[in-house]
Amino acid sequence: MAARIIDGTEISGRIRAEVQSGVEALKKERGTTPGLAVVLVGDNPASKSYVKGKNKAAHEIGIYSEQHNLAATTTELELLAVVDRLNHDPKIHGILVQLPLPDHIDEQKIIAAIVPDKDVDGFHPVSLGRIMTGTPGFRPCTPLGIQKLLSYSGVTVAGSHVVVVGRSNIVGKPIANMLMQKEADADATVTVCHSRTRDLPSVTRLADILIAAIGRPEFVTADMVKEGAVVIDVGINRIEDPTHPKGQRMVGDVKFDEVSRKASAITPVPGGVGPMTITMLLYNTLQSAKACKA
């Protein structure tokens, strides 16, 4: 039977409406407008487009947002000074420095300079430590988007065996840690796989919920999936396709056609995890503004 489609665009729309209501309530009750600062260094076209999308989305739901465009030649010290200013700016509740940064800037140093209370991207070591210990804090946007997708589509995570393929700091490691916590929308038994995993299909076939965050087009095939599993495809890959008007198209890490005939539910690419990421940034910014005592 064909799998149920977990529609990230629809779920993301629902959550944005909830965040918008939260923003309006905060303005009315406390006179606080949540504020987001997005910092872009250099002119990487993909980064420029992500930053534009984030500012536009924030603006649309009533979050104050400002964009700081810095030259590619900006020094590490200059960038640290910008972060420091934003750390102390009471209008700003969330700071996001768009990655990757130019090679001459130490990304970890910049991320660590953001005050954890404004770390809406969730990459600060304190935020990552809070995931490990299961204490409240900002969760990185893509993993949080995955957790919300599962929750809003009624997938039971508690007690399930989740297999995550990929151990990156931005997706694999945080989602694995989040779903193993003793808390709501978690409580799973989690296995993490990577490029050195022996006989990967024999492990992925154990998954009740399979999360693919690999970065290899259509890598997960039907023989790697258990009948009735829930499949979350995080991958964003562009492949050549002469039949497509642009000569290429976007695919995930999962071979959608065949896996969707075996899974019980699956996220499409595009339209699955992707739309959730920016929405979670807005969600985190609202949470930050709500938590702000000033």
Ligand X SMILES: NC(=O)c1ccc[n+]([C@@H]2O[C@H](COP(=O)([O-])OP(=O)(O)OC[C@H]3O[C@@H](n4cnc5c(N)ncnc54)[C@H](OP(=O)(O)O)[C@@H]3O)[C@@H](O)[C@H]2O)c1
Catalytic residues: 54, 98, 121
Return the residue of 59, 85, 194, 244 that touches ligand X, per CB under 6 A. Answer: 194
- Contact between 47 and ligand X by CB under 6 A: the answer reads no
Question: Do 35 and 288 touch, CB atoms closer than 8 A?
Answer: no
Task: Count residues near ligand X (CB under 6 A).
Answer: 25
Q: Look at residue 32 and give its three-state secondary structure.
A: coil
Of 35-43, 126-134, 203-211, 228-236, the segment contacting ligand X by CB under 6 A is 228-236
Q: Using the structure block, give the residue that is written with the tokens 């595009």.
A: 270
**Rounded to the nearest whole angstrom, what is the least distance from the CB of residue 239 to ligand X in the complex?**
12
Q: What is the smallest separation between the CB atom of 69 and ligand X, expressed in angstroms?
A: 22
Q: Considering the complex, state which of residue 73 and residue 195 has its C-beta at the smaller distance from ligand X.
A: 195
Comparing CB distances to ligand X, the nearer of 156 and 168 is 168
Residue 192, amino acid: V
> What gap in Å lies between CA 113 and CA 66, rounded to an integer?
19
Does position 266 bind ligand X by CB under 6 A? no
Looking at the Cβ atoms of 165 and 282, the one nearer to ligand X is 165
Pick from 273, 281, 286, 289 the residue near ligand X by CB under 6 A.
273
Sequence letter at residue 18: E
Q: Which residues of 20-35 are buried (b: 16+ CB within 10 A; e: fewer)?
A: bebbeebeeeeebebb
> Interface residues for ligand X in 235-264 (CB under 6 A)?
235-237
Among 12, 74, 142, 147, binds ligand X (CB under 6 A): 142
Decide: is 156 part of the binding site for ligand X (CB under 6 A): no
Strands 35-41 and 64-70, how do they pair?
A: parallel
Residue nearest to ligand X (CB): 168
Instruction: Return the closest-CA partner of residue 150 out of 186, 191, 192.
Output: 186
Q: Which of 101, 188, 274, 283 is the binder for ligand X (CB under 6 A)?
A: 274
Does residue 211 interact with ligand X by CB under 6 A? no
Tell me: does residue 163 bind ligand X (CB under 6 A): no
Taking the C-alpha atoms of residue 139 and residue 124, their distance in angstroms, rounded to an integer, is 10
Is residue 170 a contact residue for ligand X (CB under 6 A)? Answer: yes
CA distance 160 to 107: 35
> From the CB of residue 202, how many other CB atoms can be counted at a distance below 10 Å?
10
> Look-up: residue for tokens 């992925």?
204
Rule CB under 6 A: say whether 196 interacts with ligand X.
yes
